[in-house]
Every structure is written in C-alpha cells, then in structure tokens.
Structure 1
Amino acid sequence: MKNSGLAAVLSFLFCGLGQIYNGQIGKGVGFIVAYAISGLLMFVLIGFITTPILWIWGMVDAYKVAEKLNQK
C-alpha cells in the first residue's frame, strides 16, 4: 500500500520524489531531469512558466498513481 498523501508531499518537496516512492524510478528520474532543465530555462524566462507547471503535474501524478496502486 502506498500513501497517496505522502507521495504528493514528497513531490511537493522535490519534484520526482513521489514517483520514486511509488516505484516508478525511471519516471521519477525523468521528472528530476526535466525540472532541472526547466530551472535552467528560467534564465531565458520560459522557465517561469514551465517550472510551476511541471512541479504541479508531478504532485498530481504522484497522488493519482498512488491511488491507482492502492486499488489493485
């Protein structure tokens, strides 16, 4: 059983950590890499749009995947 609240909080603290908690290591590393690239894009201003979107998407995805894992 995965705690969906914990998965969301872990992704809140560090993007991709909730996916790793859910057992999706590749997806979590992908989120971490994408978040790092998005952070670097802040120097060209586009990162101010992509970074919050990616951060929120990571939290929602971690929560939904944990819920789905618990239903199985």
Structure 2
Amino acid sequence: MNAIIAAILSFIIPGLGQAVSGDIKKGVIFFVIALIMGLIAGLIFQSWVIYIINLAIAVYAAYDAYQMNA
C-alpha cells in the first residue's frame, strides 16, 4: 500500500492505516488507545484539551503508518 494513503487513513481514524497495511493487531491497539484517551479526556478535561490529545494520537498513528509502508 502507498505510505501516504496509509498515513491519511490513520490520521482520519487512528489505526486504520496499520490495519489496511496488514498489521491488524497494531491497528486495533491504536484505535483502542485513541478511543480510551478520548473518553478519559472527555471526562476529565475541558474540550480544547480533548482535541489536542486526539490530534497527537492521530498524528503519531499517521506517522507510524507512513513508516510501515515507506
């Protein structure tokens, strides 16, 4: 798979780029981490912090998906 497409998919939904690239276990782990962090942040922090945390997770997942395919 193209590394850029994997990175874009993983940025939109963390873990999707990894799963499409063949590493389903890693993709599920990224997705569950993003989901749990979003829920925790939603319960504890104000809304702007939630966006920063989710953005950081999405950026790292996109970077990892790109590196898997580069």
Q: Provide TM-score, normalisation by structure 1.
A: 0.80
Structure 2: any 5+ residue segments left out of the alignment?
none
Alignment of 1:24-43 (within 5 A): 24-41=23-40, 42-43=42-43
Alignment equivalent of 2:55, drawn from 52, 55, 61: 52
How far did residue 50 of structure 1 move?
3.2
What's the offset of the Cα at 1:22?
Answer: 1.2
Can you give the 5+ residue segments of structure 1 that lack an aligned partner in the other structure? Answer: 68-72
CA RMSD of aligned residues (A): 1.6
Q: Deviations over 1:33-67 (max 9, x none)?
A: 00110110122118625322211100000001111
What percentage of aligned pairs have identical amino acids?
Answer: 36
Q: Which residue of 1 aligns with 2:9?
A: 10
Stretches (4+) displaced over 6 A: none
Length-normalised TM-score, structure 2: 0.82
State the Cα distance separating 1:13 from its structure 2 match.
1.6
